[in-house]
Amino acid sequence: MTLTFQKSNNTKNKDNINLNGNIELEILGMKCEHCVQELNQLFKEFDRIKSYNVSLKENKTYLTVENLDSCKLLNAISKIGFKGKLIKPIK
The tens digit of pLDDT for each residue in 3-42 reads: 333 434 444 545 678 899 999 999 999 999 999 999 999 9
**pLDDT above 90 for 89:** no
Q: Which of 70, 29, 33, 28 is nearest to 48 (CA)?
A: 70
Cα distances (Å, whole numbers) of residue 89 to 1, 20, 34, 39, 41:
9, 9, 27, 20, 23
**pLDDT above 80 for 72:** yes
Tell me the whole-structure pTM to 2 decimals: 0.81
Cα distances (Å, whole numbers) of residue 7 to 18, 50, 59:
6, 21, 27
Mean pLDDT over all residues of the chain? 86
